[in-house]
């Protein structure tokens, strides 16, 4: 008995032994990521915060400490800041809902036993691997109000009042939302992986019990993939709010036409890199935007308690 | 420990070698636009032979980012518009100019050197000028010569091309004749326009405002109060709108939607540009356009109206450069007659007062096949942009964005010019109040 206890009881290791045995390899393999994080994420984040408390301009050699003045100006006086945040939220929410639904529906279709599954999966994934700049340029041609293919087709079909798409301030943001909605590739693949994890027996039992397809979806599929839905919602929201390249192409880098495609990242870029090059103010805007995204993410975490089902297997 | 020190020193040496830290002090760095690649190699070689300094030029790099990352070259490109924003990154050249036997501020066009002088200190020297001109496609004018003669009531010996005494009425009559379309009423589809419409920048609309006697800022308001509700600004905007939005008898330029179909002077289907950019000359030649220039038409009854813009590229020395002497020696050449003549080969006109004489002394084979004297006439009637650091931001975000709403038919568009200009004024005034207080 004593001998047994002696062999089972873990031997207490000194720090040096513990380090050599357990942490040496962890540090060795993790070093690159940790150094990378501190150099390329942590340091810029802190540097941006320090910058946000100054009146630094891009070309300015010196700058003065202004406290939270930049933050107050953005929140109380800058109408364009409010407009760009509002448009970013509209863009993120509407395109996000569309992407979420489309990616789930397509993942379910691909999860059924259809022929040429791989081909369809590749086709749906393609928009994701094409750079947004190229996507924007192609859609600008397709949706050209005067010479674009889409309006030509609509014209042949007898539509008289042809849409102005990206050329009108009242439809430019909607056009951008429409284009970005095709970026469902990754989310679809994530959903597909989650759907394939659901045991087939659940559906077989449900069918034996007489459950309809809708009931199977509502009672089995949705609860089983709810953690993945939550994951995708977070991903889609952050992607939408950070969207830059598509808006840059569609709006000629300036929110054209009439600031209607002025998303927040574009406005921040314009503030820092166009006259009068207010780098400190742009840094403050970046921090405010970070806080907004953080707030929204926390809200989503709170809401997730209402629909995310854990440990169902 | 020894091993660590050995590796560290080898690493440091490698980094130093790669980054050129051990470079000699007779290398001068300059960052130029991408289209300038190779154009000035001859001049650089000449400078090296004369002075022993080697010029290391990079092309297409963003100078703002280079300064932001403290990697700026010794010689920095700026402009009459940017200099006030870049002042802190530039060395004060005043004492160097005073001591120089080759450079004098008197040699440059007064309005441009004044724009580069802040609190009596000169921060950069001007090179190539940009001033507002009327550009025209001679082939398109020739193709419609008989109609132009009839519309402008010209005699058989008179030229159909734009003339120095043209007013807006002549400009519009010619523009209407040069606009070609099929269909009728609202179904007109244009294949050619008389003139371009500038909506992404203010270089056309604001010239009309200034020429008609208006201004963007209220005089004596320290450039803080917008003056766009004046009768002159309203008349100018009315003309600007009518040329794109009028009926078949008055319209001669594309509206905002038609502009998306690629109507442009460079595309060869637009006959004129009011206020185009001199930086495009090389492209016009490269595209094989048969083009020429004229001074801007003026409002009827105001033949001496001023309003075109004048600005210039300029070069200064980095405040952090440790090779000021070499850099200034290069600036003497670059902004002097040798630099001016080299730039002229690529369609740039120097800010030197004697540039017209320099051009006239060139062999005929090296002269441009355009009416170059027009440039100097236009400069005399041109104005520099308001000395206000937020001007371009205000124009981009608050002015042209609203003007756009007047320039197309469809949902979201507007037609009440006074209402739009009042909105702009209110927004601009509120912006300055927020920025500087009431």
* Residues B323 and B290 placed together within one structural domain of the fold: no
H-type alpha helices, B92-167: 94-99, 110-115, 138-143, 145-152
Helix A79-111 and helix A185-197, axial crossing angle in degrees, nearest 10: 40
* Residue in A closest to B394 by C-alpha: A275
pLDDT category of residue B252 using cuts at 50, 70 and 90: very high
Q: How far is the C-alpha of A64 from the C-alpha of A54, rounded, in Å? A: 5
Q: Please give the backbone phi and psi of residue B310, each rounded to the nearest 5 degrees, phi first.
A: -135, 135
CA distances from B7 to B13, B18, B319 (A): 10, 16, 36
Q: What is the pLDDT of residues B287-318, one digit of tens each?
A: 999 999 999 999 999 999 999 999 999 999 99
Assess if residue B4 is contained within a domain: no
- The answer to whether A164 and A171 are in contact (CB under 8 A) is yes
Same domain, B284 and B333: no
Contacts of A59 in chain B (CB under 8 A): 64, 67, 85-89
Whether B207 maps to a domain, the answer reads yes
Flag if B392 and A60 touch (Cβ within 8 Å). Answer: no
- In this structure, are B235 and B333 located in the same domain? no
Which region among A1-10, A114-123, B11-20, B241-250 has the lowest average model confidence (pLDDT)? B11-20
Q: In this structure, are strands B310-317 and B125-131 parallel, antiparallel, or unpaired? A: antiparallel
Whether residue B59 is found in the same domain as residue B183: no
Among B142, B167, B236, B242, residue whose Cα is nearest residue B424: B236
Distances, alpha carbon A8 to alpha carbons A5, A17, B287, B297, in Å: 5, 19, 86, 99
Per-residue pLDDT of A211-256, as tens digits, reads 999 999 999 999 999 999 999 999 999 999 999 999 999 999 999 9
pLDDT in tens, A4-29: 455 566 677 777 777 777 777 788 88
Is residue B245, in this structure, part of any structural domain at all?
A: yes
Residue A58 and residue B64: Cβ atoms within 8 Å?
yes
Is there a single domain that holds both residue B220 and residue B280? yes
In chain B, how many domains are there? 2
Residues of A in contact with B404 (CB under 8 A): 169, 257-258
Banded pLDDT at A58 (limits 50, 70, 90): confident
Whole-prediction pTM: 0.88
Residue B86 located in a structural domain:
yes
Whose tokens are 């007779």? That residue is B26
Report pLDDT for A169: 96
Instruction: Say if residue B157 is in the same domain as residue B115.
Output: no
Structure tokens at B430: 């509120």
8 A C-beta contact, residue B363 and residue B341: no
Q: What is the pLDDT of residues B37-59, one digit of tens each?
A: 999 999 999 999 999 999 999 99
pLDDT over threshold 70, residue B7 = no
Quick one: pLDDT at residue B12?
44
Question: Could you tell me if B71 lies within 8 Å of chain A, comparing CB atoms?
Answer: no
Radius of gyration of chain B (CA): 25
A3 touches chain B (CB under 8 A): no
Range of the domain at B346: 19-130+311-376
A78-307 is a CATH 3.30.470.30 domain = no
- Per the domain annotation, does B5 fall within a domain? no
Same domain, residue pair B114 and B102:
yes
Contact yes or no for A59 and B427 at CB 8 A: no
Query: Where are chain A's structural domains?
Result: 78-307
**Nearest CA-CA distance, residue A183 and chain B, Å:** 26
Residue B353 lies in a domain: yes
DSSP-derived letter for residue A54 is B
- Confidence check: pLDDT of A299 > 90: yes
Same domain? B288 vs B369: no
| Residue B81, domain member (yes or no) | yes
Cα B91 to Cα B320: distance, rounded to the nearest angstrom: 8
List A residues 179-198 in contact with B (Cβ-Cβ < 8 A): none
* B131 phi/psi in degrees, rounded to 5: -140, 155
What average pLDDT does range B85-91 have in this prediction?
A: 91
Contact B64 A59 (CB under 8 A): yes
The verdict on B278 and B199 lying in the same domain is yes
Q: Which of B376, B409, B426 is the last residue of a domain?
A: B376
Q: Which of B86, B402, B430 sits opposite A59 (nearest CB)?
A: B86
Contact criterion met (CB < 8 Å) for B82 and A275: yes
DSSP, res B193: E
B118 found inside a domain: yes
Helix or strand run (H / E) with residue A99 = helix A79-111
Cα separation, B413 vs B255, in Å, equals 12
Instruction: Give the domain CATH number at B338.
Output: 3.40.190.10
Q: What is the pLDDT of residue A59?
A: 84
Q: In this structure, how many other beta carbons lie within 10 angstroms of the beta carbon of residue B71?
A: 13
CA distance A234 to A183: 15
Percent of chain A topping pLDDT 90: 71
In angstroms, the CA B227 to CA A141 distance is 39
Interface membership of B346 toward A (CB under 8 Å): no
Question: Which chain A residue shows the shortest CA-CA distance from B187?
Answer: A160
């Amino acid at each position: 008995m004593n001998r047994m206890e002696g062999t089972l009881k873990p031997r207490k290791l000194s720090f040096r032994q513990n380090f050599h045995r357990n942490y040496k390899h962890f540090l060795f393999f993790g070093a690159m990521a940790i150094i990378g994080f501190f150099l390329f994420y942590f340091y810029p984040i802190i540097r941006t915060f320090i910058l946000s408390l100054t009146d630094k301009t891009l070309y300015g050699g010196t700058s003065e400490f202004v406290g939270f003045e930049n933050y107050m100006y953005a929140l109380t006086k800058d109408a364009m800041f409010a407009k760009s945040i509002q448009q970013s939220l509209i863009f993120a929410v509407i395109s996000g809902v569309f992407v979420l639904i489309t990616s789930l529906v397509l993942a379910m279709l691909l999860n059924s036993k259809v022929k040429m599954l791989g081909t369809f999966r590749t086709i749906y994934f393609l928009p994701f691997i094409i750079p947004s700049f190229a996507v924007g340029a192609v859609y600008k041609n397709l949706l050209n109000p005067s010479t674009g293919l889409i309006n030509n087709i609509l014209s042949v079909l007898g539509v008289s009042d042809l849409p102005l798409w990206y050329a009108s301030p009242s439809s430019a943001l909607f056009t951008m939302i429409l284009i970005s909605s095709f970026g469902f590739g990754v989310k679809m693949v994530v959903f597909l992986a989650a759907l394939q994890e659901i045991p087939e027996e659940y559906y077989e039992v449900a069918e034996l019990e007489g459950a309809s397809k809708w009931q199977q979806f509502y009672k089995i599929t949705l609860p089983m993939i709810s953690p993945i839905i939550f994951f995708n919602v977070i991903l889609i929201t952050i992607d939408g709010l950070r969207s830059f390249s598509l808006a840059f192409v569609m709006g000629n880098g300036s929110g054209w036409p009439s600031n209607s495609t002025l998303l927040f990242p574009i406005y921040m870029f314009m503030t820092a890199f166009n006259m009068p090059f207010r780098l400190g103010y742009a840094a403050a805007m970046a921090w405010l935007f970070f806080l907004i995204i953080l707030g929204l993410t926390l809200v989503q975490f709170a809401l997730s308690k209402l629909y995310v089902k854990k440990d169902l297997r | 420990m020894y091993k660590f020190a050995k590796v560290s020193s080898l690493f440091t040496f490698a980094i130093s070698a790669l980054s050129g830290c051990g470079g000699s002090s007779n290398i001068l760095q300059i960052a130029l636009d991408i289209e300038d690649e190779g154009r000035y190699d001859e001049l650089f070689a000449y400078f090296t032979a004369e002075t022993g300094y080697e010029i290391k030029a990079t092309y297409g790099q963003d100078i703002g980012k280079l300064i932001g990352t403290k990697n700026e070259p010794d010689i920095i490109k700026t402009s009459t518009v940017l200099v006030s924003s870049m002042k802190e990154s530039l060395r004060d050249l005043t004492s160097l100019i005073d001591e120089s036997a080759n450079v004098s501020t008197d040699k440059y066009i007064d309005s441009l050197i004044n724009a580069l002088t802040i609190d009596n200190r000169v921060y950069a020297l001007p090179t190539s000028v940009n001033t507002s001109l009327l550009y025209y496609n001679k082939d398109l004018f020739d193709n419609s010569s008989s109609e132009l003669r009839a519309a402008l009531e010209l005699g058989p010996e008179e030229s159909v091309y734009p003339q120095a005494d043209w007013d807006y009425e002549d400009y519009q009559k010619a523009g209407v004749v040069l606009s070609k379309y099929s269909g009728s009423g609202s179904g007109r589809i244009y294949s050619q326009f008389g003139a371009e419409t500038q909506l992404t920048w203010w270089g056309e609309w604001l010239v009309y405002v200034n020429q008609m006697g208006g201004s963007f800022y209220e005089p004596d308001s320290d450039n803080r109060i917008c003056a766009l509700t004046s009768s002159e600004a309203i008349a100018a905007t009315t003309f600007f709108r009518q040329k794109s939005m009028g009926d078949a008898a008055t319209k001669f330029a594309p509206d905002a939607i038609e502009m998306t179909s690629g109507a442009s002077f460079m595309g060869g289907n637009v006959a004129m540009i009011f206020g185009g950019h001199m930086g495009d000359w090389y492209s016009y030649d490269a595209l094989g356009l048969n083009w020429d220039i004229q001074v801007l038409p003026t409002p009827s009854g105001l033949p001496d109206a001023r309003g075109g813009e004048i600005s210039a590229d300029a070069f200064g020395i980095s405040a952090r450069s440790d090779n000021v002497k070499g850099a200034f020696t290069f600036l003497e050449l670059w902004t002097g007659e040798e630099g001016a003549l080299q730039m002229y080969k690529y369609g740039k006109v120097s800010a030197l007062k004697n540039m017209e004489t320099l051009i006239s002394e060139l062999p005929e084979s090296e002269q441009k096949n355009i009416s170059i004297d027009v440039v100097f006439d236009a400069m005399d009637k041109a104005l520099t942009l308001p000395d206000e650091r937020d001007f371009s931001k205000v124009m981009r975000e608050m002015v042209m964005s609203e003007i756009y709403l007047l320039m197309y038919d469809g949902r979201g568009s507007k037609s009440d010019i006074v209402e739009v200009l009042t909105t702009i004024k209110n927004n601009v005034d509120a912006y300055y109040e927020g920025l500087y207080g009431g």
